[in-house]
Structure 1
Amino acid sequence: MTLTQDAAARDLTLPSGRQIRYYEVGEATATPVVLLHGSGPGATGWSNFSGNIEHIAAAGFHVVAPDMPGWGDSSAVATKDMDHDVDLLELLDTLGFEKAALVGNSMGAHTAVRFATLHPDRISHLVTMGASLGKSFPRSLFGPADGPSEGLKVLVKAYRDPSPENMRALVEIMTFDKARFATPELIRARSDAASARPDHLRNYVEGLADGAPIPFPVDRSLIPSIDVPALIIHGRDDRVLHFETSLWLTTHIADSRLVLLNRCGHWAMIEHADEFNRLVVDFLRASAGSNRPGPSDN
């Protein structure tokens, strides 16, 4: 049976008092995998990972995909008050996860990398897609010399006005094969989801001066200290964040490997869902050592 959004949806209150909506599938005793969405308008744990949650859970993992505060059906939060590291730590504690594999797209990848540097005892594996390091990244060699990329400009425009027209432009620039993925259904769903939370839209736009959507930097000097297995995935045709960020991460994380996908934009988990699911499941299983529990250890 195909998993539905309503069937997977859960809600909880963090110790901070913030409300979190998350999507959960899998046996409670299985190895936890947390999927972290990106920063686009209308982005949620479900919209980013609906094609991955059930598959990864079926491979023997306990999958959780939260809407981070400031997105989806979770609490609104101003950019200046945002700290996804604290939110994620409280989520793991509340769910009783001693450790979890973190799988992040774009902003979610930034959150996962930062968390790995600050809480190395709470992460078992690191997977990034279309990774962003925000202002922590050295001066770009291949992206814009200064200012946002083409894709980020379109993203901000859609935050200011989440009309179907602007959402179409956003989905088209996020994907390589826009004829296949920029469907009326997806465009309308993203537009409706964004418009349903004007507080999130307003906070994002007002927070641009404070560094939205990533006001909390990664300390680049700590990235070489990451000692968990890392899988770095990036689309060769990403027009939002250039794959040089992933090359840099692979260079500086010792136990890492890079998969660069041709004919792929910023949403590898959507455009190449079958390959993405296979890569993640195989990676989690293969790198589950004696001190890093995998599904067989539960």
Structure 2
Amino acid sequence: MIPFTEEATSRFVDTPSGTLHFHEYGEGHPVVFLHGSGPGATGWSNFSENIRTLGAHFRCLAVDMPGWGRSAAVSPADRCHHRTAVEFLDALGIDSAAFIGNSMGGATCLKVAATAPERVTHLVTMGAGGGGAKLFGPGDGPTEGLKVLQRAYRDPSPESMRALVDIMTYDPAHAGDALAEERSRNAKSNPEHLANFISGIGKDRPHRATDAELAAISVSSLIIHGRDDRVVHWENGLKLCTIIPDSRLVMINRCGHWAQIEHADEFNRLVAGFVGARSVESREAVLSR
């Protein structure tokens, strides 16, 4: 197996949505990891410690989506991540894969599972939004965490990023200065990504799965949510588990928005068991449920 370093695992591939940067590590059933929407987010920053472990079992593919990391820039109007995710599989010659997504990445995974179910063998989300009315969480307007995220886009300084990683996590041990500085460097490396995201703040997100689409998802789904998530309230995880027929919810106490980072060992065990124990079924079996 190749050395596990950021550069040794780095790859590029061309798609109709533009050039995508991704990290590839391991062999076996393909697992696609999709990051969240925060400034400086990349496949590596969100999932490096997960693919280090899970690469022993699966072919791990952590993608920088258009508008993030080292992938092509895109305007909010032209951004369609669920279409890009399918193009990514096509470009690599992958028939179907397990999809794992954090926050925005989770929303993308849900939309892929709803609109291209034959391409998804397993679905895992962490901190994904459920849409619609809320009973317990904040009502109209952005949450406390999303307000900090938006400020960090406008001011991607290490100080702003420290506030961002603080609110993304429950345990301060996972929100150190090194991570804040890494996110700041990532964000500042491509000002066009920052400007494009800022221009889309407050506008509709037409590519989120509707309740009807969620209810039609046939793939086995694992919903993971932090009980202390201040970015996307845990109620969203409960809603997703209620609507998606073949789903189960794991809610973790003392956990913020980054379950895969704060509880990496438990997350890796859950994913390895879920994807591995539920051996990859044929697409026909999945769709016939």
Superposition deviation, residue 215 in structure 1: 4.5
Corresponding residue for residue 19 of structure 1? 19
Check if 1:193 corresponds to 2:193.
no
* RMSD across aligned positions (CA): 1.5
Normalised to the residue count of structure 2, the TM-score between the two structures is 0.95
> In the alignment, which of 240, 244, 247 is matched to residue 253 of structure 1?
244
Amino acid across the alignment from 1:208: I
Contact 2:166/2:175, CA 8 A, preserved across alignment: yes
Q: Distance in 2 between matches of 1:270 and 1:292?
A: 31
Secondary structure at the aligned position of 1:194 is classed as helix
Residue in 2 aligned with 1:148? 142
What is the rounded CA distance, in whole Å, between the counterparts of 2:180 and 2:245 in structure 1?
Answer: 39
* Per-residue deviation, 1:289: 5.3
Relative distance call for 1:96 and 1:183 in structure 2 (3 A) is same
In the alignment, is the contact (CA less than 8 A) between 1:80 and 1:215 conserved in 2? no
TM-score (norm 1): 0.92
1:43-93: CA deviations, max 9, x gaps? 00000001101211102x111011000000001111011001111111000
Q: CA deviation at 1:216?
A: 1.8
Residue 75 of structure 1 aligns with an amino acid whose one-letter code is A
Q: How many residues align?
A: 283
Greater than 2 Å deviation, 4+ residue runs: 289-293
Percent identity between the aligned chains? 53
* Kept in 2: contact 1:82–1:215 (CA 8 A): no
Is 1:79–1:215's contact at 8 Å kept on the other side of the alignment? no
Report the CA distance between 1:3 and its aligned residue.
1.4
Mark the runs of 5 or more structure 1 residues left unpaired by the alignment: 294-298
- CA–CA separation in structure 2 for the residues paired with 1:290 and 1:75: 34
* Secondary structure at the counterpart of residue 122 of structure 2: strand
Which residue of the partner structure matches residue 287 of structure 2? none
Structure 2 match to 1:230: 221
Amino acid at match of 2:255: C
Q: Residues 290, 168 of structure 1: CA spacing in aligned structure 2 closer, same or farther, 3 A cutoff? A: closer
2:65 to 68, 71, 96: 68
What displacement does 1:258 show? 0.7
Shift of the alpha carbon at 1:159? 0.3
Aligned amino acid, residue 184 of structure 1: D
Gaps of 5+ in 2: 285-289
Contact map agreement 2:50 2:268 (CA 8 A) in 1: yes
Shift of 1:209: 4.0
- Which residue in 1 is equivalent to 2:35? 37
